[in-house]
Each structure stands twice: as C-alpha cells, then as structure tokens.
Chain A
C-alpha cells in the first residue's frame, strides 16, 4: 500500500514537473520502426506531431496509443501525425505488442534509450505535442481515460496555426 502510494505520488510529481525542452526545437532523430522502415522526425516538419514514449510493460501506454490512433485517423487530413517511440529493452517484445495492438502511425524502436534520454523522458507514457515548425509546445505525462479531450483542446489550435 505504502509502495503504491509512493509510486502514485511520484507520478503526480512527474506530471507536474516542468519540462526543460518546452518551447525548444524538438531534437531530430531517425529510428527504425517495427515495420522495418526508418523514420526521421524532421521529415514531418509542416505537420503537428504527437510524439509519445511508451513501453509494453506500462499499464496505461496501450490505452494512450489507441487514443492517439483515433485522433490521428480523424485529423490526419488536417496535418496531424504521430510517432510512438518504444523504450523497451527488447525490441521483439515491443514489435509483438505493436502487432497485437495495431495503430495507424509508426511505432519506433529505441532499445538503447538514446532518444528517450535526449528527450529527458521521466515518465511513461509521455506525450509531446510538436507544432508545424518543429517546436515542442506541450508535454503530457501519464494517461487517464478522458485525456483525449484535453489532447484535442491543445491539438486544435496547433492545427490552425
């Protein structure tokens, strides 16, 4: 019980912690997707990008991935894209999870956690909203059902820019 309380408290602290990369240009990277294709973030300049860091062992990550998939399906034509970066040590486990829970955007593999370190990921899932010019505009840690509405409130103004 005490451990669960400590974890919940840590989660709240992380959710409220300031994010140092906010307002800065998102660092560029290239990663291999579970499909075998390579993706580079800078090639999505001009789109609003949802960049999420997740793991197959994280309870809420699957729900967030599905939620983002619905958003991307709806707003793709308006210029919304997404990249999900798995920080699993075992890329096979991440690929297996991605196959079992298909999403409409690329699932990328970062087994060395090099990109996660660059982005100072301190919580899973962690969602970054990147505007059309490549600047990190919002950060959202954790996921609870109903967060989709909050995402949308932040995404829409970025799509209108």
Chain B
C-alpha cells in the first residue's frame, strides 16, 4: 500500500508539473499579451484548460488503477495467490452475521456484516473475503458462518474443503444459499478450476 501511495504521489506531482508547464511558458513569453485579452477571448481558454485538467484527472485515475493491479501482482504473485470470495443467494433461511475463515487451522479473515453489506450480497454482490499467498500443495479451508437461522434463532454452521494448490492462482467461493425442500440454509465451498 505504501509503495502504491508513494508511486501515486510521484505520478500526481509529475502530472501537475507537466500540466503547469505550458501555462508558465506562455506567461514568461508574452506577459504583455495577457493585459489585452478580453473576457470573451478568455472563455474558450478556460474551457480548454478545464478539458485539459479533466483529461489529466482521468489519466491519474487510470494510473492509480494500473498501480493497484501492479501492486497486487507484486504482493500476491499468481504462483502463490489464493483468493476466497463470498456470495449469497436468496437468504430466507439465514441472516448472515459473521464469517470466519481458517486456512490450515490458522485464522486468516473474519468479517462482521452490517445490514447494508448483507443486503448488497443478497442483491448479487460478491465479496472478496481473503487474498493471500499459499505454497504449492495440499491445504484445508474451513469457513465458520454465524447468524440467525430459519426461526430467527442463533445459528452457526461450518463448511470445509481440502484443496490442492498448484502453480497458478487459486480461487474459492463460499456460497450461502437456501435449500427450499429442507427449509434450511446451505453452505457450499466451490473450487473455481
């Protein structure tokens, strides 16, 4: 994060310096001209400057995005990268409160859900719960879900999966859905091959 922030500040400074250059050059070359510029002539100049500023802002946003991607590639190389996502479907029989994630018996993530976050998941949002690095080989993922069950009672359930981390990024999805025939929630872990 620090790396990205410093790179971002550097690029922002460079962009500002570059944007300022033509204006300063113009000022020093013809200072007398500025005095005779009428307001009617100034309007198009302002518009052009505004467009230029907007273009620079867009470039900075694009650069920030690229730096973010580069930072992720640097911190989580594809060879060791593991990402765990969470999605929720329907949710009539389960109101999500917390999810705790353990990889090889070590807690790697814990998230407390606000009503707004739970609603976003129910509307089809997918949350990246964890992004980390794991060695090539066999690993075990355990997810513990707590919340309110079908009758509004406290409800806690776990799901686990053993997976093989090979060369290349690994993506796993925790999926909470309703099992209509049993009127119970269902917790699945899906391995995205």
Chain B residues 62 to 119 lying within 8 A of chain A, measured CB to CB, are: 97, 111-117
Q: How far is the CB of B107 from chain A (nearest CB, A)?
A: 14
Complex-state Cα separation, A40 to B97, whole angstroms: 13
Complex-state Cα separation, A37 to B95, whole angstroms: 11
Q: Is the CB of A30 within 8 A of B112?
A: yes
Q: Which residues of A contact B115 (CB under 8 A)?
A: 37-38
- Cβ-closest chain B residue relative to A40: B114
User: Is residue A137 within 8 Å, beta carbon to beta carbon, of the partner chain?
Assistant: no
Q: Is the CB of B112 within 8 A of A31?
A: yes
- Cβ-closest chain A residue relative to B118: A38
Tally of contact residues, B, Cβ under 8 A: 8
Q: Is the CB of A43 within 8 A of B116?
A: yes
Complex-state Cα separation, A32 to B112, whole angstroms: 8
- Cβ-closest chain A residue relative to B110: A30
User: Is residue A39 within 8 Å, beta carbon to beta carbon, of the partner chain?
Assistant: yes
Q: Which residues of A contact B117 (CB under 8 A)?
A: 40
Q: How far is the CB of A30 from chain B (nearest CB, A)?
A: 4
What are 15 A-to-B residue pairs whose CB atoms are below 8 Å? A30-B111, A30-B112, A30-B113, A30-B114, A31-B112, A37-B115, A38-B97, A38-B112, A38-B114, A40-B112, A40-B114, A40-B116, A40-B117, A43-B114, A43-B116
Q: How far is the CB of A86 from chain B (nearest CB, A)?
A: 16
- Cβ-closest chain A residue relative to B113: A38
Complex-state Cα separation, A37 to B96, whole angstroms: 11
Knowing that A30-B114, A39-B114 touch, tell me 18 more A-B residue pairs with CB under 8 angstroms.
A30-B111, A30-B112, A30-B113, A31-B112, A32-B112, A37-B114, A37-B115, A38-B97, A38-B112, A38-B113, A38-B114, A38-B115, A40-B112, A40-B114, A40-B116, A40-B117, A43-B114, A43-B116
